[in-house]
Structure 1
Amino acid sequence: MHTVREGLMADGAGLAGDRVVSAGSTARVLVAATARALRGADCADLGHTGPVSRFPGAPEPVRRAAVTRAAGRVALTPGQTAEVDAERVARWFVDQYGRGSYPGVVLGSPHGAAAHLAVALGMPWLPAGFEMTVHWAQGGVDRPGGALDHGAALTGRLLAGNDDLHVRQVHCPASRGALAGVTVSLTARWRALPAAYRRFLADRLTPGAPVLLLRDARTWPVLDSGPGHSFQVGCPGSGLDPVDFHPDSHALRQVLRSAGGDAARWEAPQVSSAAGYAEHGVESGFELSARDWAARAGRRLHRVLSPRPEALSAAVADLYRRWLRAAGKTGDRLVVECGRLLDPWQVVRAGLVPYWCENATRRSVEGVEWWLAGSEPFTSVDVLPEPPGVRSPALAGLPQWLAVAGFGGRRRALDRTAARGYPVTSVPTRRATEVLRAQPYDLPVPPPMAPAEAVEVLRDSGTHQGLLVS
């Protein structure tokens, strides 16, 4: 019989998972996209356009006001953090995969190529954590110290009912724009496999099915502010470096001016020189728990450590090319996806090679340019640049995206809808579906790749990219 510890919620109580997990967060989109692909469905029903899509030519103050109003409708209230049940969130993730058994599972850090890898293997993908946004009524985009204080109080409420979490708070006006001044961003990372995951692995995996654990190995200066709570100013996904968040930084002044802040008020908390894994890292306890489960169940666990997103994107693109050619397809048609603009089912339906850019930063786009320069040519290249909805000196311009499309031999396409109003508008995930549906069919879909073969391809292709596969 389930017992309730004092101060904790009863089993099944608390907010629903789709209310807790941030709308449009990478983990949420990837679970939805992978689950749909495994049942032969695309992402035509996935939205999350954001408010700025309705104001393509509006002045910045109007756009910021629209963002603030939209955040108020979807963010959690401070009181609701006490109602979060991380176990219920885990159940919500696994329940999206319906019934049936699988030849393995992919766990870990959120990454679009992880979703494509899972689909090629016929496996589900499950995250090692989830993102939340919570109201900050007296906030300011230029007040990271205030964000830390507010986040610490919220984390206390959250951990009172979820002692199996570590909460990483991120204050990053470069990637979140004005949102960083009205909400706080909390990434909750499980310190062990949640019970729902353990049941899923035990009940839904075929005998001998392996576990693939993907870890984002990027580091960032981190402040451990208290038990179960850590804080970072900026993030790797911003396309900036930690030094760029110093008050004397020209880049920071540009970012804050665009987001409605003032660099003169910027006083970031003192962070030790030692760097820890950034917000999308995997807790060591989560990996240990997965290893222990695999050992007890007689399963093989493979770990893939990625030093930067581009390394995994390149390795999985190479894997797809090999997989498609083994099935008698050309493997010469590429789609470059970005952020939430992806659709794994339409990719396999059309026989495309997918390369996923984490975001629209110059650093991310340079990664695909370098990979393309060193790859066998593609006859067609379709590019889906996701407008981030913010302005930043780290963003790639449309000419750089056009240069990526220019690698196509006969077809070179940059999605005009995504480019219209770039970078300050936003487009929904289903835009990727609309574009990819126009690609010619290339059926039948290849049979799932064997896990052992996939591990070998990742090891062979990824070594020179810096991937560590064990």
Structure 2
Amino acid sequence: MTKRQAQDSVAGFDSATAMVRALAAALRGERFTTLGQPKVAEAPLRLSRWLPEAARTGIYRIAGAAEGAKPEELGELDLAEVAEWLAGHYDGHDRYPGVLIGSSNGAAVHLGAVAGVPWLPNTVLVPVKWPDNDPDRPRAAMEFGRDTATALLHNNPDLALHHMHDGNQDRLMISAMSYFRLKWLELPAAYQRFLSERLAPGAPIVLLDCTLRWPVTKVAERHYFQTGAYGGLEPYEYLRGSPQVERFLAEQGSELTAFDAPEADDTAPEAEWGLSPEFGAAVERWAAEHGHPVHRLAFEDPQDLSGPVADLHREWLTGEGVHTTRLLVESFVLLDPVGAARAGLVPYWTPFPVRRARDRLAEYLRDRPFTELEVLLFPHGVRSAGIAEPEDWLALAERVNFPATDRKTYPADFRALAEYGSAIGRMADRDITLKSSIEAVIEGLGI
């Protein structure tokens, strides 16, 4: 059996890998377009708009499943090599004046870009091929994980598996794969080397600590199963059902009225966004031993940072002579720090295009001077329960534009994955590079 390369073991469509690519590009002064994929990836995404919806969603499902590892390959995966690959994105710089480490967060990517510091993630996604996965039956998915994860965990004793199954927002993707999210419990050797060699003496470490927890079923030591995920539904709706879930499943043609979920017997850090407490403690130990101060930036909801980061960007743009009333509403991995600055847009990141995110943005806008919104909507291909349709965003400002989205084909408008970069590029007519010190960022956030 040929051993899989580190970059082939983790999902390119995931928050961690995409955000590492986005920040690494920004530190090189480059824009983040087409999710950091090669230019040739744009053509099929753009041409997909001419296909019927069933064909578009089918291709999306197949493309996602193509990234998955086969179950029999899991015992060969070495996540130490993945850590090396992630840290390797930040080359070409002698010593960094600081570092971000921990939870995935799109708003934090903008902070890293302005402060000129990298980010190292706590969590990565290993997609596992499984053509028999039924989005409505998480109980069966848990048993699949029980049968297939033993060798993976045995060979990677410094990680915990948070097997996530979201039959709502991830419905298309998991129909042919299973999401194995892995969280480091220790500071991987590659991260330690990177910090020792590339971090300036005494430079601050900002620990991104998303404290969001989720009900889980403990399958084995270091192995948790999570039904559902942060987004449009609450945990209890995944586990016990609700009228909203019943309507959604009926619309999808399911024979069930609620997800067939196992009973939860514990809580754990949310699979995608939550920080492993053990990892946070390991970072603090390493920092104390090597003379680096740690500033823990704790927040419960992934969107909690978006408002403060947007406010800082408005101050920085004002300092560059740009008095803007335009807000760029980013969505999941549709972000572009360099492009947003050049367009004179204040970035406000939302984890997903759901009503929860829309309502949080509405609260933020109540006492802010923004009159025009450029709204990016990540296309996950299904009208999931809790989704915020394009029309739901229109009342938030005097002018609301959807520069990358075809409202008629959303949420199966996969052209947006290529078009968002072009849309921002058309607005990026200023020679602006936002810069601030990591110390000023720390002071501005009050940590």
Return the offset for 1:457.
1.7
Deviates more, 1:51-60 or 1:84-93: 51-60
Deviates more, 1:104-113 or 1:320-329: 320-329
Does the residue aligned with 2:394 lie in a helix, a strand or coil? helix
How far apart in 1 are the matches of 2:386 and 2:47? 21
Question: Mapping of 1:33-48 within 5 angstroms?
Answer: 33-44=22-33, 46-47=36-37
Write the letter of the residue equivalent to 1:457: G
Q: Does 1:125 align with 2:114?
A: no
Q: C-alpha offsets along residues 416-443 of structure 1, whole Å, 9 cap, x if unaligned?
A: 5353411133245443221111124333
Write the letter of the residue equivalent to 2:414: S
Q: Which residue of 413, 428, 434 maps to 2:401?
A: 413
Q: Which residue of 3, 16, 23 maps to 2:12?
A: 23
Look up the match of 1:166.
160
How far apart in 2 are the matches of 1:433 and 1:340? 12
Return the offset for 1:133.
1.2
Return the offset for 1:66.
4.0
Return the offset for 1:183.
1.3
Does the residue aligned with 2:149 lie in a helix, a strand or coil? helix
How far apart in 1 are the matches of 2:126 and 2:247? 27
Contact 2:209 2:274 in 1 (8 A): yes
How far apart in 2 are the matches of 1:265 and 1:77? 29
Q: Does 1:449 align with 2:436?
A: yes
Contact 1:310 1:368 in 2 (8 A): no
Look up the match of 1:422.
410
Does the residue aligned with 1:417 lie in a helix, a strand or coil? coil
Return the offset for 1:120.
1.2
Q: C-alpha offsets along residues 76-95 of structure 1, whole Å, 9 cap, x if unaligned?
A: 11112112111111111111
Runs of 4+ aligned residues of structure 1 deviating over 6 Å after TM superposition are 48-53
How far apart in 1 are the matches of 2:47 and 2:160? 34
Q: 1:244 to 1:298 in 2, by over 3 A?
A: same
Look up the match of 1:388.
380
Does the residue aligned with 1:110 lie in a helix, a strand or coil? coil
Q: Which residue of 304, 327, 330 maps to 1:337?
A: 330
Does the residue aligned with 1:120 lie in a helix, a strand or coil? helix
Return the offset for 1:174.
0.7
Return the offset for 1:71.
3.9
Return the offset for 1:370.
1.1
Deviates more, 1:111-120 or 1:277-286: 277-286
Does the residue aligned with 2:164 lie in a helix, a strand or coil? strand
Return the offset for 1:453.
2.1
Return the offset for 1:378.
2.5
Write the letter of the residue equivalent to 1:211: I
Q: Which residue of 296, 301, 313 maps to 1:303?
A: 296
Contact 2:10 2:126 in 1 (8 A): yes
How far apart in 1 are the matches of 2:189 and 2:247? 45
Write the letter of the residue equivalent to 1:32: R
Q: Does 1:189 align with 2:180?
A: no
How far apart in 2 are the matches of 1:14 and 1:373? 53
Does the residue aligned with 1:224 lie in a helix, a strand or coil? strand
Contact 1:52 1:63 in 2 (8 A): no
Look up the match of 2:361.
368
Question: Mapping of 1:259-270 within 5 angstroms?
Answer: 259=252, 261-263=254-256, 266-270=259-263
Q: C-alpha offsets along residues 363-402 of structure 1, whole Å, 9 cap, x if unaligned?
A: 0111111101122x13543111222211123001211222
Contact 2:48 2:415 in 1 (8 A): no
How far apart in 2 are the matches of 1:354 and 1:110? 17
Question: Mapping of 1:83-94 within 5 angstroms?
Answer: 83-94=76-87
Question: Mapping of 1:185-264 within 5 angstroms?
Answer: 185-237=179-231, 239-246=232-239, 248-259=241-252, 261-263=254-256
Aligned pairs, number:
440
Look up the match of 1:143.
137
Q: 1:249 to 1:290 in 2, by over 3 A?
A: same
Write the letter of the residue equivalent to 1:221: P
Q: C-alpha offsets along residues 347-372 of structure 1, whole Å, 9 cap, x if unaligned?
A: 22233210011111010111111101
Return the offset for 1:21.
1.2
Write the letter of the residue equivalent to 1:250: P
Contact 1:51 1:67 in 2 (8 A): no
Give the gaps of 5 or more residues in structure 2: none
Return the offset for 1:170.
0.9
Look up the match of 1:403.
395
Write the letter of the residue equivalent to 1:290: V
Return the offset for 1:14.
4.2
Q: C-alpha offsets along residues 281-300 of structure 1, whole Å, 9 cap, x if unaligned?
A: 11112111111111112111
Look up the match of 1:283.
276
How far apart in 2 are the matches of 1:146 and 1:51? 33
Return the offset for 1:57.
6.6
How far apart in 2 are the matches of 1:263 and 1:52? 36
How far apart in 1 are the matches of 2:52 and 2:134? 22
Contact 2:332 2:352 in 1 (8 A): yes
Q: 1:235 to 1:439 in 2, by over 3 A?
A: same
Look up the match of 1:353.
346
Look up the match of 1:438.
426
Does the residue aligned with 2:386 lie in a helix, a strand or coil? coil
Look up the match of 1:156.
150
Q: C-alpha offsets along residues 29-57 of structure 1, whole Å, 9 cap, x if unaligned?
A: 10111101110111235347898983777
Write the letter of the residue equivalent to 1:387: P
Deviates more, 1:431-440 or 1:142-151: 431-440
Return the offset for 1:147.
0.3
Return the offset for 1:67.
4.6
Does the residue aligned with 1:335 lie in a helix, a strand or coil? strand
Q: 1:117 to 1:40 in 2, by over 3 A?
A: same
Does the residue aligned with 2:104 lie in a helix, a strand or coil? coil
Q: 1:218 to 1:75 in 2, by over 3 A?
A: same
Return the offset for 1:207.
2.1
Q: Which residue of 179, 191, 195 maps to 2:173?
A: 179
How far apart in 1 are the matches of 2:13 and 2:229? 18
Write the letter of the residue equivalent to 1:451: I
Write the letter of the residue equivalent to 1:310: Q
* Percent identity of equivalent pairs: 31
